[in-house]
Amino acid sequence: MHNFVEAFKFIGRNGQVPGGPHLPTLVHLTLETLKIAGIGIAIALVIAIPVGVWLGHVHRGSFVAINLGNIWRSLPSLAVLAIGVAVLGIGLGNVELALVVLAVPPIITNGYVAIDGIDADIVDAARGMGLTGREILLKVELPLGIPLIFAGIRTAALFVVSTTTIAALTGYSGSLGDIINNETSYRLSGVLGAAICIALLALVVEFSLAGVQRVLTPRGVKLAAGDDFGVSIAPVVTEPA
């Protein structure tokens, strides 16, 4: 228990070890972690949302969209980072590439499933009312698809935050993972403190995105789904079975 008490003291000292040299502060490392993860998820969103949503809108490419998700789950993040280091060398480029590679597939798969699975009658009704394809996508399909689209984004975000910290193991310095990778400077209490921060960061990211999802979800969809705030973490199973 002593170690955990020390860990919270370490957090209270903003990541400094008494008697040691001045180290990057916890606040700084947390913001850096968020920045690296944020860039990765932003690039992934720009690539994956249009692709997934478009494939779902035209009801094509189900094989690619579904299997991409299955293959993604098979990619160990440390292995992707390691191969990236070998090819690109240690640096932000390799980390961001790994983040994008890991974040794109779940967003595409969920985007596809979200739009493709919308009740055909609803789309027909919208078309009967005279909506164009574009309007159907923006006013009908996207709002109805929000819950599943967001499930994909949240899965990806979780993966990205986790992988950002793992990047420290492959030599990239500048995230909270640094502390865990450097027990000699930070001691066990520092490592524990960093682990607590990482766990909290992931939970905060998860709940923030859940909050954004809640705001974006149309009221009608919320009522139909039975508002289930917070418990819907984790991957949506998009198995054909």
Partner 1 sequence: MLLLAAGPVIPTFGGGGSSFSCERANRLFCPSWVSHNWGSVLWPALRQHVELTLIAVAIGFVISTTLALIAYRRRWLERPVLVVTSILYTIPSLALFELLEPVPGLGLSRTTAEIALVSYTLLIMFRNTLTGLREVPPDVRDAAAGMGMGPLQLLLRIELPLALPAIIAGLRIATVTVISLATVASLIDNEGLGAPILSAIANEVFKTELIAAGGMAVVLALMADGVLVLLQRRLTPWTRTAI
Residues that bind partner 1 (CB under 8 A): 3-4, 70-71, 73-83, 85-94, 96-97, 158, 161-162, 165-166, 168-171, 177, 180, 188, 191-192, 194-196, 198-199, 202-203, 206, 230-231, 233-235, 237, 239-241
User: What is the amino acid identity at position 9?
Assistant: K
Q: Which is nearer to partner 1, 69 or 111 (CB)?
A: 69
CA-angle at 202, arms to 201 and 203, nearest 5°: 90
Nearer to partner 1, 140 or 163 (CB): 163
Q: Which is nearer to partner 1, 120 or 231 (CB)?
A: 231
Task: Give me the least distance between CB of 83 and partner 1, in Å please.
Answer: 4
- CB 30, min distance to partner 1, A: 13
**Distance in angstroms (rounded) separating the CA atoms of residues 191 and 144:** 43
Q: What is d(CA 60, CA 58) in angstroms, rounded to the nearest whole number?
A: 6
The minimum distance between CB 2 and partner 1, in angstroms, equals: 9
d(CA 179, CA 186): 6
Residue 132 token pair = 């164009």
Tokens encoding 233: 């973490």
Asked if residues 197 and 126 have their Cβ atoms less than 8 Å apart, the reply is no
Kindly tell me which of 100 and 140 has the beta carbon lying closer to partner 1. Answer: 100
